[in-house]
Amino acid sequence: MAERFDVLVLGISEKDALSLLFAKTADVPRPSDRYFAATRLGLCGCDKTFDALIRATYDLTTDELFDRITRRKAIEALGRRKDIRAVPALVDVLACSDTEAVINAISALTRIGWSPAPAEHDRLLHLLESEDVTLSRAVIQAFARLSIKSSASHLRIRELCGHESALVFGAARACLCKLYGETALMQPLLPQLTDLVAGKRRSAVIDIGDSGDHGLLSALVKAPVSMSLRAKSFLQIVEAGGLLEIDLYQELFQRLLLDDPLLLELNDDWKCGLSPEDIEQNLSHRDEARQYGAAASLMRIGREECLELIDSMQERLWSDYVTHYYLTCVIGLRGLHEKSYLVRAALAETTPQYTKSRVAAAWACVRLHLDDQLELLYELSNSSPWVPLRWTCQQAFAQLIEKQQTSGDLLARC
């Protein structure tokens, strides 16, 4: 479960979560509550809940469906806890037959910051013999993200740079770039940023983040992939090198977060007509590039037509967080003052699924001169746990204050 959906498990008490974790599925009215319970325990901090999660990795069977899923979630929860005491249990999971559990264990070990002993290194490397491309990708990513270097892993991962699967060869190239400075290996991934297959675009964005190559940031910013995923990879690179204090990278980051669809590399296959029907159809598509194509059309149609379409979609689709985000973006980018009330509502929205909309709303506050939002922008610039929102609000607050001062100076001269 993505961490932005943690609110879904907060209603489960710690006591109930402990009980549900090892309950017999037949005795639970809603069996899914068992794996929600495991996620809930990942948010706790006491030894009792930690010990229960460790026990789940050993005691829950992989034969019964809900036991198996709950075990996977318990492994994931141990990664959330970031407690080094979980390492032995997670390393033991690497030998189990449940591939999804193994992948979760690798992710958890990465989050904890595992430093494998020689035998553990060999066990991790051995997993690359699997034919499962998702598992191979997770293993390679672990080598890159944990900075595990050895002659054996270097040789084996180099062999995978020519793998037929983009998931594997992209991760392998990113790993060698990150650990050994082989930046030239990343060039074949650039065309993948505009591949017709959405999964290949997304994996390329992730691989660029893992590569640590700041020379790829300009291409990353223009990729028709979710803003939040691009932002994660962007920050992965610039924060490691302390680059976000440099004007060039601040400008690139602002361009990424403004998310103007007209500045993205959009293939003709993703664009759509200018009719309301075409725009709505593209906006509801699962492929983010098609969604951006719809947003680009919203940027191109006449102002009055755009306002009418926003009115129509607001009445029917405003609760859909995808539509909510793109409409908020367009209102700000086009300076649609008539819709300022929607920007104010979006900035105040605290439901996790709408966090991206708050970023778009913060930029819109600057374009629409919404000085009445300064207090909320200031609050978010200090309190938001998500860096893109916190950074955006810092910039928006500073820019609004600067505009106020400029206006005051002009009035004084008059």
Axis crossing angle, helix 65-81 with helix 47-59, rounded to the nearest 10: 140
Could you report the per-residue pLDDT of 242-301, keeping only the tens digit for each? 899 999 999 999 999 999 999 999 999 999 999 999 999 999 999 999 999 999 999 999
Exposure letters 305-340 (e unless 16+ CB within 10 A, then b): ebbebbeebeeeebeebbbbbbbbbbbbbbebeebb
Q: Average pLDDT, whole number, for the chain?
A: 94
Q: Is 387 exposed, middle or buried (0-12, 13-18, 19+ CB in 10 A)?
A: middle
Could you report the per-residue pLDDT of 76-109, keeping only the tens digit for each? 999 999 999 999 999 999 999 999 999 999 999 9
Nearest Cα residue to 142 out of 113, 180, 101:
113
CA distance 313 to 124: 50
Q: Contact 158/172 with Cβ under 8 angstroms?
A: yes
pLDDT for res 241: 83
Taking the alpha carbons at both ends of the chain, their separation in whole angstroms is 58
* pLDDT exceeds cutoff 70 at 34: yes
How long is the chain? 414
- The full DSSP string for 146-214 is TT---HHHHHHHHHGGG-SSHHHHHHHHHHHHHHH--GGGGGGGTGGGG-SSHHHHHHHHHHHHHHT-G
For the residues 25-54, what does the mean pLDDT come to?
93
* pLDDT exceeds cutoff 60 at 373: yes
* pLDDT exceeds cutoff 80 at 3: no
pLDDT band at 1, cuts 50/70/90? Answer: very low
* pLDDT exceeds cutoff 90 at 8: no
Give the C-alpha distances (Å, rounded to integers) separating 326 from 314, 335, 358. 11, 14, 11
* pLDDT exceeds cutoff 70 at 7: no
Could you report the per-residue pLDDT of 378-406, keeping only the tens digit for each? 999 999 999 999 999 999 999 999 988 88
CA 176 to chain centre: 23
pLDDT band at 2, cuts 50/70/90? Answer: low
CA distance 19 to 342: 44
Tokens of 323: 């539509």
For the residues 52-75, what does the mean pLDDT come to?
96
Give the C-alpha distances (Å, rounded to integers) separating 403 from 242, 305, 341, 414. 29, 30, 21, 17
Nearest Cα residue to 178 out of 142, 131, 134, 231:
142
* pLDDT exceeds cutoff 60 at 4: no
pLDDT for res 196: 96
Three-state secondary structure of 353-392: HHHHHHHHHHHHHHHCCCHHHHHHHHHHHHHCCCHHHHHH
pLDDT for res 12: 81
CA distance 140 to 145: 9
Tokens of 242: 């302390």
Which range (8-22, 64-78, 156-170, 271-285) has the least confidence? 8-22
Give the C-alpha distances (Å, rounded to integers) separating 186 from 151, 208, 236, 284. 21, 8, 16, 33
CA distance 295 to 299: 6
Percent above pLDDT 70 for the chain: 96
Tokens of 47: 């030894």
pLDDT for res 409: 66
Other C-beta atoms lying within 10 Å of the C-beta of residue 131:
6
Q: Contact 396/363 with Cβ under 8 angstroms?
A: yes
* pLDDT exceeds cutoff 60 at 147: yes
DSSP H/E element including 9: none
* pLDDT exceeds cutoff 80 at 413: no
